Amino acid sequence: MAKDTTTGRKYRGYTINNGQDGNLHCHTKTLDQIIDTVELMAAKHSKVFSVRLDIQNTATGRIGNNGQEIDYALDSKDMTRIIESATRTLNSKSKDGKNDPDVHWVWTAEKTSPDDKPHFHVNAFVNGNAIHNGYSVKEAVSRAVKNKLQNANNTPNESYDGLVNFSGSNGAKGKLIERNSPEVEDQINDVVFAGSYLAKVRTKEFNSKGSRVSSCTRISRK
């Protein structure tokens, strides 16, 4: 196994999700992206929402008049555009408020077999004083996914409903970190543990050679 992975239950002082038996490998790059983002956001904002989303890809089998499959499958480059579009949507919805959403993302692609289309796991982190419910993040990502696929396949948005799922690890509306809560340390640990799911090595071994383990938005340390 590559040296940039860990099977430890703890990483940088946080408990991570390395499987029920505690022996699954996790990419340290992804763990660093999650932890760096969580620590930065918790330092900048009195409230932070963490929202995990799972994005399926299009189903195969729709055939055009020429006999060719017409479904366009999302890839990692598309995910970058989707993240940018969802960020613009969230910023636009909060433009009249006094708080900047300050949206940050970590995302990764996985494949269950060499011939499978990739699916994606996303963790969004937002200023909880500007965005109060994780479902607004899900709606922004769903809109971006549907628009991308509609433009690529020239099919109505409704054809791609249900591809973005609100992870059960979010609870009712997302995981909240409140700086002034007596439970803030537990809240941060809970967010890191949930986000560490993105770091698992399993199902990434079928990704294209040279592809990124994970990606994240730029972290500004002003």
Q: What is the 3-state secondary structure (H, E, C) of 45-96?
A: CCEEEEEEEEECCCCCCCECCCCCECCCCCCHHHHHHHHHHHHHHHHHHCCC
The closest alpha carbon to 118, from 24, 26, 206, belongs to 206
Residue 5 inside a domain? The answer is: no
Domain that holds residue 211: 27-60+68-216
Answer whether residue 12 is part of any domain: no
pLDDT score for 210: 63
* Within a domain: 167: yes
Helix 28-44 and helix 184-195, axial crossing angle in degrees, nearest 10: 150
- Give a yes or no: residue 207 inside a domain: yes
Q: How far apart are CA 161 and CA 222, in angstroms?
A: 39
pTM more than 0.85? yes
The pLDDT, as a whole number, for residue 52 is: 98
Query: How high is the pLDDT of residue 68?
Result: 55
pLDDT for 1 equals: 47
Determine, yes or no, domain membership for 21.
no
pLDDT value at residue 150: 84
Structural domain contains residue 9: no
The per-residue pLDDT for 66 is 52
Extract the tokens encoding 218: 């730029």
Q: Judge whether 17 lies within some domain.
A: no
Residue 10 in any domain: the answer is no
Per-residue model confidence (pLDDT) at position 206: 67
Q: How confident is the model at residue 99, as a pLDDT?
A: 93
What's the structural domain count of the chain? 1
For tokens 């591809």, what's the residue? Answer: 163
Residue spans of the chain under pLDDT 70? 1-3, 59-71, 157, 159, 206, 210, 220-222
